[in-house]
Amino acid sequence: MRARTMVSVLVSTCVALVACACGPDEAKEDTGAKPPQPSASTRSDEPSPTPSVSARTEKPSAGPTGDQPAPRTQEGAIQRYEQYLHALGREDIDTVCDVAGPAAKKAQDQGLGPCTSTYAAVFQMISPAQKEALKTATVDPQRIVVRTPAKIEMPVEAVRSSASFSENDLGSYTLEYLKNDWYITD
């Protein structure tokens, strides 16, 4: 197993342990309690006064729309990874799970929870300063590694932001071009 994969598995395992540490009683409180929904005739367009981290966001994806594929270029991969970084900073679970979907599926198949619950725990592990820095993070194209036209590695050293990140904090990722867009696969 590659060292980066081992670190990712270890971090994911720690995240799962933290998520499970609350015990079954607290977990039931978090997942089972939902406010009653008003009927269609009394429903207002106002947002809920108490949004939760696990609530789905209403933000549109910055990815391709309709049948238009994302560019299968180095720049397209960088743009997609920056979208992921910014979503991490905003705690935008929908975008994070979209971009990291294939990697999250692998982790789930290895016994970790679904993407939404795993990343809810990850959000809690990122410091406020790091979250703020991720919102505007960029990628240095000189530091990425193009393996094939459809497979690009984004080392943590390529992330440019006002906060520093290590392999343990953020990690390095592989993006692959699948189904007309770039996705984190490792």
- Give the whole-angstrom CA distance, residue 44 versus residue 57: 17
Question: Which of 52-61, 64-73, 91-100, 119-128 shows the lowest mean pLDDT across its residues?
Answer: 52-61
How much is the average pLDDT of 167-179? 93
Residue 19: which residues within 8 A CB-CB, separation 6 or more? 113, 117, 118, 120, 121
Token look-up 């189904």 returns: 179
Q: What are phi and psi of 133, to 5 degrees?
A: -65, -35
The pTM (predicted TM-score) of the whole model is 0.66
Distance CA 149, CA 76 (A): 11
Q: Which pLDDT does position 67 carry in this prediction?
A: 61
Report d(CA 170, CA 130) in Å as an integer.
Answer: 10
pLDDT at 68: 80
Mean per-residue pLDDT of the chain: 75
Q: How many residues are recorded in the chain?
A: 186
Lowest mean pLDDT among 62-66, 100-104, 134-138, 155-159: 62-66
Helical ranges in 3-54 per DSSP H = 3-20, 23-32
Query: What is the C-alpha separation between 73 and 35, in angstroms, rounded?
Result: 45
